A and B are shown apart, each in its own frame.
Chain A
Amino acid sequence: MKNFLKYLATKPLRLSIIVVLVAILSFILVSFSPLDPITAYLGYDRLQISQEQEQVIIERWGLDKSPPERFIAWTKNILQGDFGTSVIFNDPVTLVIGKRFAASFWLMFFAWTLSGILGFVLGAIAGTWRDSIADRIIRFYAYTLASTPTFWVAMILLVFFGVKLGWFPICCAGPLGVAPEQVSFADRLYHLALPVLTLSLVGTAQIILHTREKMIDFFQSNHAIYAMSCGEARFGTALFHGLRNILLPAITLQFASLGELFSGSVLAEMVFSYPGLGKATVDAGIRGDVPLLLGIVIFSTIFVVTGNLLADLIYRWVDPRIQIGEATG
């Protein structure tokens, strides 16, 4: 128990150090980048304003101050929950991220769950009946998908299911011409289908290969040999003994893969013009929306770091050796 309290105290501290480091690094990178906030804000109107007007903006935004001063000011605002205003959306950054993340969340949630379950089941089957026909097919699928770029899968699905067969919409999160608030739930799911499929197909590959490897290891362990000597068939050994033992590393892997899921969703959202956080990231980058870009960087860092923290907590919760070991020892 003492260990757990110590863990609870130190882990968030370590994670917040990561967030701070990411914030510093990305601020340094942005301040060295050729992005000019005023051009990004005004666009072509920049040519029409006078030197005095420009000076007013520069002073108003504090662009005349040194980068360290600006960083301190930025950090102070962030700590008060103010990430600034997005230049391209003309809304507070937190609001933009919130809205966009809500759209991305469902995309990532479905893709993550589907790839996790599917990958785990297929991997377990492949590992239990190693070198069987099923294993060969599953392995072929996994190796192929593991070496396929996400955007390419997205394009293939789009061309085939969206354009050729016309089964699914080719873009966006709702029908064209309908305000986002009025899109029905069924329509939302319908528009989610292809992006989710893309991310799941790519995401399963890793977890299949990992689970298969673990299952093969398990079947060579003393536990499996003993279980089989007790009369368990291969299926029973896998079901009653194996799954439990390989579930923990699979869960950890799945939570640790949140970073890849995030970057995968950026690509998938671009291909499908899905208005999520990924697309907002690319837009912010291309159009020089520094406040939004930095906000997303920090948000995604927290997202990934939280995923890893959850993996750690679930591991402790599921594995009796850690849980009881700490309670008694």
Chain B
Amino acid sequence: MLTVKDLNITFSRYYNSFSQTTLNPLHNIDLNLSAGEIVAIVGESGGGKSLLAHAILDILPTNAELKGTIQFREKLIDSNTIRQLRGREISLIPQSVSYLNPLIRVGKQVCRAARIGGLTKEEARMATDAAFTRFNLAPEVQSLFPFQLSGGMAQRILVAIATVAGASLIVADEPTTGLDPDRVTVFLDLLRMLADEGKAALLITHDLGAAQRVADRIAVFHGGTLVEVVKIADGSEVDNLVHPYSRALWEALPDNGFSTNGSSFSSHRHGNDEPLGCLFVKNCDRAEHRCRITYPDLVPAGNNMVRCLNA
């Protein structure tokens, strides 16, 4: 349903009046997503994962430059075609309630999403009511303002907005941030339910634990690109991660010993130059000389796709 090929995003930023610097927060991203599937993009916060969501919906800031292609149902997404797709076919579940308009009652906002998703006034009203029932929200909630919602309610409102017009691809950008474990479970079940109905979902999260509970595939994101893509069998945990960064992420989970070596792994690529060497090399205990001079490609290693020379 969604195919991302060799996606690159660069930002130009002026650091004084004469010189500018370019940041390359996202590069060499290849990804595909089919109906009924949940793919999780997992990586640390602040790494630039959200840019992928913004790129798909074409809501990047104006100083961002995008290279590569994004296709939705074999059709290229560009600034023209995306207009017909937003809300109708592709929808976004944002991080928090703060994305809702604070001055409009939530029922009206859901209804508005249905209207711009192509429904008539009457249909939109019915779809709104149906969405509230479906996501277990009392009808009275419709007349509340966003600031009156609890975290869980807000979450379901955002899901309602994303699905009310029948979008078939749902991009969820850090949807579980700040929710307690029960709410996270509720949300993940909801996402699974939507996927089982035939929708595709892209779950962008820093929470590997949550991702492995619900996703069909996990793509580990580091240094602006995907370093490992792994399939997960139903209900099982990922224990076959290969890339050193993925392993570190996995070992940092509470259930797996909570171990970190105390350092932040974040690293960004500057400029448009081809990277020299692996971006994880500084933190990697298996780094060799060739890791410093050769940029690894994403290659099959066992059942996974891994971007590591030692895989």
Residues of A within 8 A of B (CB): 222-223, 225-233, 236, 240-241, 244-245, 319-321, 324-325, 328
B101 near A229 (CB under 8 angstroms)? no
B104 near A231 (CB under 8 angstroms)? no
In the bound assembly, the distance between CA atoms of A244 and B146 in angstroms comes to 15
A232 near B116 (CB under 8 angstroms)? yes
A229 near B92 (CB under 8 angstroms)? yes
Q: Which residues of B contact A320 (CB under 8 A)?
A: 103, 145
A229, A241, A325: the one contacting B147 at CB < 8 Å is A325
B45 part of interface (Cβ distance < 8 Å): no
Residues of B within 8 A of A (CB): 57, 59, 83, 86-88, 91-92, 94, 98-104, 112-113, 116-117, 145, 147-148, 161, 165
Further pairs besides A223-B100, A245-B101, A319-B103: 19, Cβ < 8 Å: A225-B99, A226-B92, A228-B59, A229-B92, A230-B87, A230-B92, A230-B113, A230-B116, A230-B117, A231-B116, A231-B117, A232-B116, A241-B101, A244-B104, A245-B102, A245-B103, A321-B102, A321-B103, A325-B147
Q: Evaluate whether A236 and B116 lie within 8 angstroms (CB atoms) in the complex, with A230-B161, A321-B145, A324-B148 already known.
A: yes
In the complex formed, the residue of A with least CB distance to B96 is: A222
Q: Which residues of A contact B100 (CB under 8 A)?
A: 223, 226
A222 near B147 (CB under 8 angstroms)? no
A241 near B104 (CB under 8 angstroms)? yes
In the bound assembly, the distance between CA atoms of A324 and B145 in angstroms comes to 9
Q: Which residues of B contact A328 (CB under 8 A)?
A: 148
Q: Nearest chain A CB to B254's CB is how many angstroms away? A: 30
In the complex formed, the residue of B with least CB distance to A240 is: B112
In the complex formed, the residue of B with least CB distance to A248 is: B103
Q: Which residues of A contact B148 (CB under 8 A)?
A: 324, 328
B99, B116, B117, B165: the one contacting A223 at CB < 8 Å is B99
In the bound assembly, the distance between CA atoms of A324 and B112 in angstroms comes to 23
A223 near B83 (CB under 8 angstroms)? no
In the bound assembly, the distance between CA atoms of A229 and B167 in angstroms comes to 12
B59 near A225 (CB under 8 angstroms)? yes
Q: Nearest chain B CB to A328's CB is how many angstroms away? A: 8
In the bound assembly, the distance between CA atoms of A328 and B117 in angstroms comes to 34
